[in-house]
């Protein structure tokens, strides 16, 4: 909004303006740096859903060593954009959403830190309430850190990237570049990246649904016949929201259907093959609709569950799309199994809500951001 409208979002002037804005906010003390290293407790509330996490600088070496585990590929152009942004502003302003298996000891420490009035308490335009507490007590910091240190306790031996693969990959690249170059551009802070860690039972994954523009040259009747060769198909009077893995909702103009896959296919040993999106792709999207590369094929689009099943109906009934598919949400257990196996999920497998706020906490990489 402060640059010419026709400028490319990847123009160097865009990154330079971001650096100027950050420097100005520090100079004006709109943003203030805590005097000592600390954690933060970050609570999000969206309606009845509440999740509470720990803001920290996650370890780039741990990411590089697969102790912070991935489950999806990144796109080079998006990763490059994030590298340029981090390098230009010399800070990370967008956190990575990490999760880990439930640890009640950490939950207790985090809950104990939420005393008094939060440092930040704001409700954003989407109705999500964001609250932040500073964790500055050295004893509590030490107790939290010990849970992640294999030399002390190491109770939590793996973290999982839920959302933010491009941000974490970019942080690793920036650290490697500065490590290799040395000199004033490098500091120990470069070996970390901004993250918020949540217990696995607090993170909410919504469905990530599909709409397709045409039936690949098939009539409606022929398409339904091909689907019935691979799924149990039943017409339903109302919207079909899948109630379990292996069940799908399918919408054609004016009519919902419930699809069920052969239960034996859910017992596949490969954790990726067991995913609902993999089953739908293998048995319908690819062989019937002819879509083999959903990353690039313009015939398919993806709709986050936050927009509801009504959005699927709207896109089809408008004539823009020919068919829609509602999926059962991927579970965190499935995500962790894929990451533990060193595999990746198909594109657009997970939709996390609520979203973390950018800029509420920033992580400067070098001392040049300290304003006296």
Distance of CA 113 to the CA centre of its chain: 26
Segments of the chain with pLDDT less than 70: 1, 4, 183-187, 367-372
Domains in the chain with CATH codes:
12-204+353-369 (no CATH), 205-352 (3.30.1760.10)
Burial 263-282 (b: 16+ CB within 10 A, else e): eeeeeeeebbebbbbbbbbb
User: What pLDDT sits at residue 369?
Assistant: 39
- SS3 string, 157-179, reads CCEEEEECHHHHHHHHHHHHHHH
d(Cα 66, Cα 86) in Å, to the nearest integer?
22
User: What pLDDT sits at residue 368?
Assistant: 46
- 306's tokens: 């936050």
Q: Please answer whether residues 124 and 136 qualify as being in contact, where contact means their C-beta atoms are separated by less than 8 angstroms.
A: no
Torsion of CA 41, 101, 61, 137, to 10 degrees: 30
Residue count of the chain: 372
- In this structure, the number of other CB atoms found within 10 A of the CB of residue 331 comes to 15
The answer, as to whether pTM is greater than 0.85, is yes
User: What pLDDT sits at residue 185?
Assistant: 53
User: What pLDDT sits at residue 190?
Assistant: 85
Q: Is the dihedral of CA 215, 217, 220, 224 positive or negative?
A: negative
User: What is residue 266's DSSP assignment?
Assistant: G
Q: Which pLDDT tens digit goes with each residue over 30-88?
A: 998 898 999 999 999 999 999 999 999 999 999 999 999 999 998 899 999 999 999 99
User: What pLDDT sits at residue 287?
Assistant: 97
Q: Is the dihedral of CA 99, 187, 36, 116 positive or negative?
A: negative
Q: Please answer whether residues 334 and 346 qualify as being in contact, where contact means their C-beta atoms are separated by less than 8 angstroms.
A: no
Q: Which pLDDT tens digit goes with each residue over 334-358?
A: 999 999 999 999 988 999 999 999 9
Torsion of CA 19, 21, 24, 28, to 10 degrees: -140
Is residue 49 left, alpha or beta, with left meaning phi > 0 and alpha meaning psi from -120 to 50? beta
């Amino acid at each position: 909004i402060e640059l010419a409208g026709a400028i490319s979002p990847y123009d160097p002037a865009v990154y330079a303006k971001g650096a100027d804005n950050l420097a100005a906010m520090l100079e004006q003390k709109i943003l203030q740096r805590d005097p000592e290293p600390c954690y933060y407790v970050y609570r999000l509330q969206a309606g009845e859903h509440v999740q509470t996490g720990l803001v920290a600088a996650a370890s780039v070496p741990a990411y590089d060593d697969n102790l912070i585990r991935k489950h999806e590929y990144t796109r080079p152009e998006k990763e490059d954009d994030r590298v340029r942004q981090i390098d230009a502003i010399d800070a990370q302003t967008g956190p990575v959403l990490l999760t880990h298996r439930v640890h009640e000891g950490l939950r207790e420490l985090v809950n104990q830190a939420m005393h008094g009035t939060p440092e930040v308490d704001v409700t954003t335009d989407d109705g999500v309430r964001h609250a932040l507490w500073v964790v500055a007590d050295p004893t509590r910091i030490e107790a939290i850190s010990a849970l992640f240190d294999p030399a002390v306790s190491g109770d939590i031996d793996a973290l999982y990237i839920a959302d933010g693969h491009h941000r974490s990959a970019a942080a690793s690249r920036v650290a490697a570049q500065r490590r290799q170059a040395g000199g004033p551009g490098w500091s120990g802070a470069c070996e970390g990246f901004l993250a918020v860690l949540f217990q696995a039972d607090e993170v909410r994954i919504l469905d990530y649904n599909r709409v397709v523009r045409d039936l690949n040259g098939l009539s409606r009747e022929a398409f339904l016949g091909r689907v019935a060769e691979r799924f149990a198909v039943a017409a339903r009077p109302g919207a079909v929201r899948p109630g379990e893995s292996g069940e799908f909702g399918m919408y054609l103009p004016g009519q919902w259907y419930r699809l069920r896959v052969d239960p034996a296919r859910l017992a596949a040993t490969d954790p990726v093959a067991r995913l609902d999106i993999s089953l739908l792709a293998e048995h319908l999207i690819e062989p019937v609709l002819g879509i083999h590369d959903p990353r690039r094929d313009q015939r398919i689009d993806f709709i986050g569950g936050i927009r509801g099943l009504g959005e699927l109906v709207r896109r089809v009934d408008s004539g823009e799309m020919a068919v829609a598919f509602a999926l059962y949400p991927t579970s965190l257990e499935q995500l962790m199994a894929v990451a533990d196996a060193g595999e990746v999920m198909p594109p657009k497998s997970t939709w996390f809500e609520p979203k973390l706020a950018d800029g509420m906490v920033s992580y400067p990489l070098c001392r040049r951001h300290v304003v006296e």
